[in-house]
Amino acid sequence: MVRLVMILLGVDYLRTRWKALMVAGWLSVALGVEVFIDMMDGSLYFPLKPFAFLLLLEGLSTLAVAWTGMGGQRKLRYVKGSAFTLAATLILIGTLHANFILAMIFGTLFFADGILQIISARIVRFRRWRLAIAGGVFEMVVAFIFYLPYPVRYAGTIPYCVSLGLLFSGWNMILLAMRVRRMEHNPAVEDSLPTAAVTPAAELASAVSGVTEWDGPPSDDERALTIHVWMPAATAKAEAQPRVIVDRYIAAVDRNGAISTGHAALESPEGIYISLYPGTEIDRSPEEFGRMLRATRENDIPGVFQPDYRTEANAWCESTVKVRIRNYDPERLQRFWDAYRQDATYNLTYRNCSSTVARALEAAVEGASARVWAKSGGWKPLLRVMSTPELWVAAQVRKRAATMAWTPGLTLDYARALSMLADPRPLGWVKMARLALKKMVRSRRRWQAEEAEQASAPDLGETSAQSATRTEA
């Protein structure tokens, strides 16, 4: 999440606030240590009930606005909201069985994530795979601490989680402050940009014309960055076998056994088109595909950059989904592209079409949140980014892609989440309030029309009766 904050706010914004970030980080670490010691000595002073009500409020509010997301965003929101609501309910119940269930749930989540990280790192073998395995082992150790009532009792499950959250959040803020203190450019975009001077965020604020929120995605005739995604199931040569999660996030297998991984590309109004494709066709058989999954040098092959979207679509097919973003920096994107296209190496796992698009997208939206909230100044850009649900969604997607591989499905979810952060929408509750208000106004107008119609009906009847009487006379 630290790298995402650096990307969205930009170094220029964060460098001027590194001292406050450092102080906040150390305070969070100190509070985390205090909660952990409080839990270990057997005297729990942590306010569980107020924390549970806050957790319940967060869970219910997330569930209430989850429908505003799309695809994987919506699913992750529902998962987060359901988990928070269930945890808050068990805390409020407060029995020994409830604490035991909580410990088992948290332990299983940590254990499953650690196992998945270890397996994926062992198979893919990306550059820092040993560090990823160490992280997976640490998660498994944390899981066993949840499973065993030692050294943490089941009653201390929630304070234990809170202390871990405070410790990691504080450490991340400290790292963020240390990184931006003397930084000249943003390494969050993988150091792909040249070290030339970057345009200050204040000079880029005019690109969004003072707008701080948009009611929806850009229209077709609006100038915007476009991320094209070809989903694996939609690009299979024959009918794909239905595998819900695998089809979307990994690959689709057709009835002939051929594997389709999909594709991703990025297009800008300035004429930049980023689409990396293998120069020679990759063997899509399951045996050969499994060997190609390793992100090792022997699996590097020559790649080719497609010239433009129309050429690629005509030679293959139209993209399945498009994500469009208004608030991007064409200069940063151009510098990224000038440096990146010098090497056309293709690797199915660590340097593929999806990873290329993800890195280009990060370069394009660097400093987007600081630009769009530039007039507000102060800490509002940071608070707004941290309070947006899509930051959590984007962080989860980026983490999974970093420990496994970027795929078109992950790129799609990542682009959607970043689009909500770069082009801020009204907060979920605000959007719901607006919809409710519009519905109330429409209902009131309909009721007024019905009342006016009912009120005029007797008058019309009386007029007709009087007219008939005159006729008879």
- Write out pLDDT tens, residues 233-284: 776 666 666 666 666 667 667 666 667 778 999 999 999 999 998 887 765 5
Question: What's the confidence (pLDDT) of residue 401?
Answer: 83
For residues 444 and 420, state if they share a domain. Answer: no
The answer on pLDDT for 356 being more than 90 is: yes
Task: Give the residue from 125, 156, 188 where a domain finishes.
Answer: 188
Residue 339 domain-assigned?
Answer: yes
What does the pLDDT look like over 161-217, one tens digit per residue? 888 888 888 888 888 888 888 766 555 454 444 433 344 444 444 445 456 667 677
Check: CB of residue 423 under 8 Å from CB of residue 327: yes
For residues 29 and 139, state if they share a domain. Answer: yes
The tokens 């345009």 sit on which residue? 199
For residues 181 and 241, state if they share a domain. Answer: no
Check: CB of residue 370 under 8 Å from CB of residue 13: yes
Question: What's the confidence (pLDDT) of residue 458?
Answer: 55
Q: Which residues pair with 323 in a beta bridge?
A: 227
Question: What's the confidence (pLDDT) of residue 41?
Answer: 64
For residues 221 and 298, state if they share a domain. Answer: yes
Q: What does the block give as tokens for 404? A: 């496994």
Range of the structural domain that residue 443 is part of: 432-462
Integer Cα distance of 126 and 292 in angstroms? 12
Residue 223 domain-assigned?
Answer: yes
Integer Cα distance of 315 and 162 in angstroms? 53
DSSP for 16-74 reads TTHHHHHHHHHHHHHHHHHHHHHHHTT---S-HHHHHHHHHHHHHHHHHHGGGS-THHH
Check: CB of residue 359 under 8 Å from CB of residue 343: no
- Which residues fall within 8 angstroms of residue 295, CB to CB, at 6 or more apart? 124, 125, 126, 127, 347, 349, 350, 405
For residues 224 and 314, state if they share a domain. Answer: yes
Residue 390 domain-assigned?
Answer: no
For residues 44 and 84, state if they share a domain. Answer: yes
Check: CB of residue 256 under 8 Å from CB of residue 238: yes
DSSP state letter for 280: S
What does the pLDDT look like over 337-349, one tens digit per residue? 999 999 988 887 7
Residue 364 domain-assigned?
Answer: yes
For residues 308 and 181, state if they share a domain. Answer: no
For residues 375 and 247, state if they share a domain. Answer: yes
Least confident of 259-263, 285-289, 401-405: 285-289
Question: What's the confidence (pLDDT) of residue 266?
Answer: 96
- If DSSP states are collapsed to H, E and C, what string results for 302-322? EEEECCCHHHHHHHCCCCCEE
Residue 386 domain-assigned?
Answer: no
Integer Cα distance of 150 and 313 in angstroms? 59
Instruction: Categorize the per-residue pLDDT at 437 as very low, low, confident or very high, splitting at 50, 70 and 90.
Output: low
For residues 211 and 170, state if they share a domain. Answer: no
- At 265 the three-state DSSP class reads strand
Least confident of 29-38, 41-50, 317-326, 381-390: 41-50
Q: Which residues pair with 273 in a beta bridge?
A: 267
DSSP for 342-404 reads T--EEBTTTBSHHHHHHHHHHHHTTTHHHHHTTTT-TTHHHHHHHH-HHHHHHHHHHHHHHHS
**Cα separation values, 387 from 62, 421, 438, Å:** 12, 10, 26
Domain count, the chain: 3
Q: What does the block give as tokens for 449? A: 């029309």
Q: Which range has highest mean pLDDT (28-37, 59-68, 156-165, 228-237)?
A: 28-37
Task: Give the residue from 188, 217, 250 where a domain finishes.
Answer: 188
Residue 199 domain-assigned?
Answer: no
Q: What does the block give as tokens for 172? A: 């991340």
Cβ atoms within 10 A of the Cβ of 470, count?
7
Integer Cα distance of 194 and 344 in angstroms? 18
Question: What's the confidence (pLDDT) of residue 375?
Answer: 62
Q: Strand order in 321-325's β-sheet?
A: 273-274, 263-267, 225-230, 321-325
Q: Which residues pair with 325 in a beta bridge?
A: 225
Q: Which residues pair with 341 in a beta bridge?
A: none
Task: Give the residue from 188, 223, 250 where a domain finishes.
Answer: 188
Residue 294 domain-assigned?
Answer: yes
For residues 142 and 276, state if they share a domain. Answer: no
Cβ atoms within 10 A of the Cβ of 309, count?
18
For residues 135 and 250, state if they share a domain. Answer: no
Residue 468 domain-assigned?
Answer: no
For residues 10 and 158, state if they share a domain. Answer: yes
Higher pLDDT, 175 or 1: 175
The answer on pLDDT for 352 being more than 50 is: yes
